[in-house]
Amino acid sequence: MLGRQLTRRAALQTIGGGVLGSLLLSACGGSSNETTQTAESTPTPTTAASGGGTSSTPTAEASPTPTTQSTTGGTPASGEPVRVGVIATLSGVYTSLGENMIGGIQVALDEVGGVAGGRPIELVIEDSAGSPDQALAKARQLIERDRVHMLAGVILSNEAAALRDYVVQQQVPWIIGNAGLPGLTRDPNLRSPYIFRVSCANGQYEAPFGQYAYEKLGYRRIILTALDYSAGHDKAGAFGKRFVEAGGEIAGEVYAPIDTQDYGPYLQRIQQIDADAVFAFYSGGDAARFVPQYVDFGLADIYPLIGSGDTVDENILAEQGDAAIGVISVLHYSPLYDSPENQKFVEAFRERYDAATGQFSYQGYLNGRVIVEALNAIDGNVEDTESFLQALREVQFVGPAGEFRFHPESQGPVIPVFVRRVEELPDGTLGNVVIDELGAVDDLSY
């Protein structure tokens, strides 16, 4: 976790000239009372309860065609900051995910001295606390009060569902940093020219892994277990569908609520099912608890554990300890991927935060890098919304895990996918070693 470097409170951060400027901090509730701190300071994080919230269903009616007034004729305010509103889970069970995503964004901005298209980039950071209602309230605040030019971030799918209609109605570009709600890019009725995603849609990398589990790992009967919310069902469902299409059988399904502390009852249900292996999707603190309890329950000796890369993300491997060794997972990133771009990213992140990179910092980096590339392409004229949207569509670069670009139809990422295995590294730490590559995968491929 990056709690010592990344505040869990709302923050306004201007990055320019290669030096981090001041942080204006306000409370989670969005108070206008602000105090000033430098980026090097280590404020004590505030605490807020994590609310799971109810999943909102976005509607297709809120997909207006860009208007001339909102998309053309903008005049760049030369030298004035481009304001990027970032919504992240900075309190609650998914704090580490939000912190690492923001850390990745900041590393991408550090690479260009915090300036793109001739203008400094200003991050206005707000905590969603894992609550769809709070995420929507923060989006309104960022757009209507802070007048941000775009939104970035968002961790949870139910938060993204809550934001979708409002953001589209406001005609504000939104580059999603993690939330994998599939319909936002896969459903023609829910897509919008204003919505892009740098992370994968739920199921995007799990689907090809389902076929891989049958053909390469040799499994024939698999148990699915995941967190009981939309992303958990999407990811397990995509894996299971492709596994069955390849010839396999789903022996059973077990879902657990977010923030479960004792997985005993769920592990007992798994134990009663006859299968070759278990596919799991857990994340954050849930994953940190699930994997050790799975091993302590004795299931690792019966069913090999495979799963989504979230389940053994680098940010929680130390907490999971030896219980994670041998787990095979699928993801679009590994810190151990061998490329000059990844080595540079890993070193920059460690130098800045004294922490390892992982899925969420990588996605944060992509979030920031995409914004930088698009701003450079239009000389910073983000006020011309249509030009900025077109620049986003045309973004293409070689990032830490290989070539990145957006699919022209979905505006989701076309991105390399890797099969990894947790191993003990020469320095005694644990890491996800790449053992196979599944090629570039887009979000319309499953």
**What's the pLDDT score for residue 4?**
40
Question: CB of 18 within 8 A of CB of 30?
Answer: no
CA 436 – CA 285 distance, rounded (Å): 27
CB atoms within 10 A of CB 30: 17
Could you tell me the pTM of the whole model?
Answer: 0.84
Give the C-alpha separation, 363 to 106, whole Å: 12
Return the pLDDT at 315: 86
Architecture of domain 206-331: 3-Layer(aba) Sandwich (3.40)
Question: What pLDDT was estimated at residue 422?
Answer: 99
Q: Check for a shared fold between 10-201+339-414 and 206-331.
A: yes
pLDDT recorded at residue 44: 28
If one counts every other C-beta atom within 10 angstroms of the C-beta of residue 296, the result is 13
Three-state SS for the chain is CCCCCCCCCEEEEEEECCEEEEEEEECCCCCCCCEEEECCCCCCCCCCCCCCCCCCCCCHHHCCCCCHHHHCCCCCCCCCCEEEEEEECCCCCCHHHHHHHHHHHHHHHHCCCCEECCEEEEEEEEECCCCHHHHHHHHHHHHHHCCCCEEEECCCHHHHHHHHHHHHHHCCCEEECCCCCCHHHHCCCCCCCCEEECCCCCCCCHHHHHHHHHHCCCCCEEEEEEECCHHHHHHHHHHHHHHHHHCCEEEEEEEECCCCCCCHHHHHHHHCCCCCEEEEECCHHHHHHHHHHHHHCCHHHCCCEEEEHHHHCHHHHHHHHHHHCCCEEEECCCCCCCCHHHHHHHHHHHHHHCCCCCHHHHHHHHHHHHHHHHHHHCCCCCCCHHHHHHHHHCCEEEECCEEEEECCCCCCEEEEEEEEEEEECCCCCEEEEEEEEEEEECCCCC
Helix axes 132-140, 157-170, angle to 10 degrees: 30
* pLDDT computed for residue 74 by the predictor: 56
Query: Given this model, what pLDDT does residue 79 score?
Result: 76
CATH level 3 topology of 10-201+339-414: Rossmann fold (3.40.50)
List the chain pLDDT tens, one digit each, 446 residues: 564 444 433 344 443 333 222 222 222 233 332 322 223 322 222 223 233 333 345 655 443 333 323 334 455 556 799 999 999 999 998 999 999 999 999 999 999 999 999 999 999 999 999 999 999 999 999 999 999 999 999 999 999 999 999 999 999 999 999 999 999 999 999 999 999 999 999 999 999 999 999 999 999 999 999 999 989 999 999 999 999 999 999 999 999 999 999 999 999 999 999 999 999 999 989 999 999 999 999 999 999 999 999 999 998 999 999 999 999 999 999 999 999 999 999 999 999 999 999 999 999 999 999 999 999 999 999 999 999 999 999 999 999 999 999 999 999 999 999 999 999 999 999 999 999 999 999 999 99
pLDDT at 225: 99
Closest CA to 94 of 291, 413, 315, 365: 315
Q: Tell me the domain boundaries of the chain.
A: 10-201+339-414, 206-331
Rounded CA-CA distance 247/276 in Å is: 14
